Every structure is written in C-alpha cells, then in structure tokens.
Chain A
Amino acid sequence: MKTVRLFAVLAAVCLMTLSLAPARAAEPVKIGAVLSVTGPASFLGEPEKNTLLLLQDRINAAGGILGRPLELVIYDDETDVNKCVLAVDKLLKKDRVVAVIGPTVSGNTLAVMNKFPAAKVPMISCAAAEKITRPVNPWVFKTPQSDRQAVARILDHLRQAGLSRVAILTVSDGFGQAGRAVLAEMLPAGGFTLVADEIYGPKDTDMTPQLTKIKGLAPDAIVCWGTNPGPAVIARNRVQLGIRTPLYMSHGVASNKFIELAGEAAEGLLLPAGRMVAVEQIEDGNPQKDVLAAYVADYAARFGAPPSTFGGYAHDALALVRAAIETSGSAEPRAIRDALEATTGFVGATGVFNFSPEDHNGLDPSSFVMVGIENGAWKVLR
C-alpha cells in the first residue's frame, strides 16, 4: 500500500513538472546540426562543429537569441549517408529543432534535402554542390560558394597568364567529381583545351603514373581538384618528376595543413580561397575584415589553432539563422525561412550573402581571391 501511495505522489509530481515546463520563461531556441565530425570528411566537419560550439557560447554569453538561450543539438553522421538520414530524422522528429545546419558533404545533403519541405523546417547546408540550391528548394539554403565560382577565378588567372592547354587531375569522391564536372564544362566554354582528364582515389598514396602521363602531353597548366592529403602527394610527386608546369589547386586545400603536408613542394602553387586564409592581408575597408578577425582570434584562443576556411561555412550558417530569428522576432521555422530568404548584405566569414527566392546561396565569385604559396605562407594575389 505504501509503495502505491509513493508512486501516486511521484506520478503527480511528474505531471506537474510536465505541465509547468512550457510555461518557463526562457525556453531555449533549439537549433540542430548534422556534421561529418568523423569519417573521410572529418577535416570539414570537425572545424564546423568547433565553430558552432564557439558561437553558441558567444551568443549565450551575450544574452542568447531574443532573450532565450541557444541550445545546439549536434549529431555526427560519420560521413555516412544512412547515419545522416537517421540523424536528420532525430532532429526533426525527436528534438524538434527550428532549423538545421549541415550536413557537411554534398551527398548527404542531397539525400536528406527532401525531408525539409515535408517537415517545414529550414536547412542551411555546409556543402558546396550546385544541385543543393539549383533548382531552389524553398526550405534549403547553403553557405559555401559553388565550385563554379572557384573555377571562374582559376580561369581568369589562366587567361591572364596566357595559358590555354590544361590538364585536370581530380579525386574520385563527391568533391572531386563536382569539380571535374564544372572544369570539363567551363574549360572548353572559356576557350581552353582540356588535354588530359585524370582521376585518383581518395586514399591513393602515389600519383606519379597520372602525372607521368600528363607530363607526356605537355600541358600549359595542371588543375588538381581534391582535399587533403591527395593534393599534397600530387604536389610532392610533381617535384619528384621535375614537372615545371604551373599547378592550380582547388579551395579544398585552403588550410595550413596542406602547406605542412606538402612542405617545400607547396612553393608556387596557386589556388582560389576565401579571404580567411590570410586575414591580415585583407584590404582595409573590406567589410569581412572585422568578422573574420574576430572569428579567427576567438577560434585560435579556444582550440589552440586557427580555423580552416571550412569552419566558416558553419559560422555563417548559424550567424544567418540567428540574424533571421532576430529580424523576424520569431523562432518559428517558417518565420526563420522567410527571413533567411529576405536576407541581403549579410557579412559572413565566407563572403557577403544576398539571398532571394531565386538564389539560396547568395554569394558571387568575389568571395574568392586567388592566393599563391610563398615561403610556406599564403600570399593573396591582386
């Protein structure tokens, strides 16, 4: 009898707590994130996660959003599409977040995109593929620039240098495939000749066969599209084979790690990159200068190393959502979506965003600068 009474009391207490819960004043704003913190894309997902944690603390220290604390729910999809789908379901159905940041990679983003119109929750992807925002899915946005803008920068540079016969060497993963498709389309369209189209595997450790073949075709320039460590191997193999042809890399290696891995072989390589790689070289008066300086300094202070440009994708995603909540004065998913779509002139780490119903990326090629590697450091080319 005693136990029964005890249970009754307990149940009553539970019920009261439950009924009281929604009435509490500062209910947190719940924002979800699905990032590839481990697995092949961890070099992207880890800085993204760190950045979100950093911003969460920064926002909460400054009084939260609309006076409510920000609560981030971050899941790791391990760069696996099935886990990503499960994680998104968890965010939408279990955690009931008002917006989702991520996923990190394009494939996972494409896999989960169609869940968002049904759930009526906005998603801001940290992946680059054009298919994410073209055609526009009303509930889906993305913060990284498209590969097209990076390639446009490289082509400008090639044209100025008077180079016309180009060989490409791309990695056989989602990133390389997207770059390869854009290169194969834009090079001929821009009047260049594509002399070689070689592939390497993401885990390959020696690319001399591909480079030997390219060397035999004597191109004016080589464009390599991949993420660490492959391009570092390619840079070293190029030196080993004594190839003097200019080598262009993608923005996928715009991190100090690349220079560390490639060592001396990185000298003289060229690539398009966000301004974050060389904050101190940003011209005065550029609106991004302050945003980036603060972000880089805070990140370095907390994690002991400067952030890679990839962390910037998550930085902008969360900052955009926060701004959208504050301009609309509501943390409801639909209000956030509407406010996001109306955002213009928003200064982020990656560039200046101008969203519209027709453009859910909102960036243009000016968010990239061409950089070279000189004496083991980034040098912005003007």
Chain B
Amino acid sequence: MDTASLLQYLVSGLTVGSTYGLTALGFTIIFNTTGIINFAQGEFVMLGGMLAVILGQALGLPLVPAVLGAVALTTLAGGLVERLAIRPARGASPIQLVIVTIGVSILIRGLVMLLWGKDTFALPHFSGMRPILFAGAAMLPQSLWVLAVTLTLLAALRAFFTATIHGKAMLACSHDPGAAALVGVNVRRMVLASFMLSALVGAVGGVILAPLTMTAYDVGILLGLKGFAACILGGLGNPFGAAAGGLILGVLEAFGAGLVSSAYKDAITFIILLALLFARPTGLFGARSADRV
C-alpha cells in the first residue's frame, strides 16, 4: 500500500466526513437548547442545496446571491418549523417531539418533491474543478471550501455558546427551562432562535456540499442519519465533538472502502462506532450524560 493511496483515502474521508460533521453541528444547536433530536436536520441541509440550485437555475441568479438567498430562505423555513410544528406541540414528551420532527422531515421532502421534482441537480463548484495535487493525492478546491467552512462554523458556534449572552441563554434553556425563565430568559424565543440557527448552519452545509455531492429532494435522509451518528460518537451537545465525530466517521468509511471492503464499508464503520459507544456511552468528547430520548 503506497502512501499516495493512503493520503488519498484520508483526503476523501475528511471531505465526506465534513458533510457529516456539518449536519451534526445543526443537531447540536437544537439539542443544546431544547433536548430534542431534530430528525429534520438533514432536510435543512437538503433545502440549502436545493434552493441554491433552484434560485440559480429557475431565477437565473448568479452563484453568490443564489447561495445567500438559499441560506436565508432555509433559515426562515427553520423558524417556520418551530412556529408551526414544535411550538404547538408544547408540553409533549421528548419522544413525541422527535416524532413531530420526523413528520416535518417527511413533509419538507414531500413539498420539495412536489415543487421541483425528483431529479438530482448539481451546483457549480465555487472555485472551479481543477484538482489540487500534493504528494500523489488529488483534492478538489471545493473540498477545501467544505473543510474551511466546517472549521469556521465550529469556531463561531464555540464562541457563540461560551462567550455571548444569547448563547449562554440557549444552553441554560436545555439544562433547566424553568430556571432559565426565572432569570429572565425568554425560553420560547431561544427555542425559535435555535431552530433558525441550526437551519442556517444546515443550509450553509447544504450549499457548500451541493457542488461535490449533488443534491436531490431525498439526500437529507442519509445525511441526517450519519449526522446523528456523528453527534453520538462525538458526544451529544458538544459542537466540537459533533464535528470531530463526523470527520472520524468519514475517514473510517474511506479507509474501510479502500483497505477492507467497499461492500461492507458502512458495516465496518458502524461496528467501530458501536464498539466506541460501548466503551464510552457518552461519546468520545461527551461529558454530560446523554440519557434523553
């Protein structure tokens, strides 16, 4: 096994892993504020990508406004989800809220399918498709975009949750909504903000990934699944853990496919993930107990 191949596996793994990590970040935001696992998170990623394509193709917008528009619209959609589905179900148990998010994800998928059909679309690469070569491995400029955006978002979220009053208020809502309300935090507004913020993060992920992975109405399912796995692996509630968990998953898959068996690459990944989970039930970087359903 030559080093160039190994390096290529690593590069591929990190690229795919960023897609999982980006989705996982969105899970973290909503979980940290509400304790809900948002099954519609993958749908936010899909919406970002699809809306960018639609704005670009149907309305003929150039790439940058199309991307910004897609992110803005998806953020709005996140707010709508909270107002129309989550807020009316107030008082429901966590598992019922999970069912609500499952319903929402199916609804969003159905709506996108109805409006724009079942085809797959590709978004143009941001900085062209000429691969960057180093040490025998090839990487697309878009992969650098993805990695850079993942890291930037991660740093921004860390800063937001630890350094700003809003971020701290959102965390407080998850720990004890009653107490948070007592000290003057508007819990409802925080929940709304968390949905919009995570939709925004999801949409940014969606538009940045769409050139590489292409997009269609149903890409959110798999991303949501892998994003959830990344979250649990990294430790639920920890943005750093979520991103790291995503990267680890991606790298495991790439090496599994390249070195062991491409047919069983997902099985290999999940076996390792389960082994890690049994060893550390709260995830690799998780401190808080994660015993919510």
Contact = CB atoms under 8 A, between A and B. Distances in A.
A42 B118 CA distance: 7
A19 interface: no
A204 B257 CA distance: 12
Interface string A198-213: 1111010110111011
Given A42-B118, A203-B222, A209 B113 contact: no
Nearest to A263: B122
Contacts of A43: 118-119
Contact of A205 (B133, B213, B221, B266): B213
A264 B129 CA distance: 10
A199 B113 contact: no
Contact of A242 (B138, B214, B221, B261): B138
Interface in A277-319: none
With a 10 A CB-CB cut-off, give which of A43, A201, A232 has the most chain B CB atoms: A201
Given A205-B214, A206-B15, A257 B119 contact: yes
A209 B9 contact: yes
B119 A38 contact: no
Interface stretch (A53-61, A141-149, A233-241, A320-328): A233-241
A269 interface: no
Contact of A239 (B121, B122, B129, B255): B129
B5 A205 contact: no
A172 interface: yes
- Which bucket holds chain B's interface residue count? 35 or more
Contacts of A38: 113, 118
Interface residues of A, number: 34
B120 interface: yes
B119 A206 contact: no
Nearest to A43: B118
B5 A229 contact: no
Contact of B257 (A210, A229, A232, A240): A210
A95 interface: no
Interface in B1-57: 2, 5, 8-9, 11-13, 15-16, 19
B216 interface: yes
B5 A240 contact: no
B57 to A, nearest CB: 11
Contacts of A213: 5, 257-258, 262
A212 B15 contact: no
A242 B266 contact: no
Contact of A240 (B140, B216, B253, B262): B140
B81 interface: no
Contacts of A210: 257-258, 262
With a 10 A CB-CB cut-off, give which of A205, A216, A241 has the most chain B CB atoms: A205
A261 interface: yes
A257 B118 contact: no
A208 B214 contact: no
A216 B8 CA distance: 12
Contacts of A264: 129
A332 interface: no
Interface string B217-253: 0110110000000000000000000000000000001
A201 B265 CA distance: 9
A241 B257 CA distance: 16
Contact of B212 (A40, A206, A239, A257): A206
A315 B12 CA distance: 42
Contacts of A263: 122, 129
A209 B6 CA distance: 9
B5 A233 contact: no
A229 B120 contact: yes
Given A206-B16, A210-B257, A212-B8, A201 B266 contact: yes
Nearest to B226: A203
A209 B254 contact: yes
B178 interface: no
A332 to B, nearest CB: 37
22 contacts: A172-B263, A198-B262, A199-B261, A203-B219, A203-B221, A205-B212, A205-B214, A206-B212, A208-B254, A209-B9, A209-B254, A209-B255, A210-B258, A212-B5, A213-B258, A213-B262, A232-B120, A239-B129, A241-B138, A242-B133, A260-B122, A261-B121
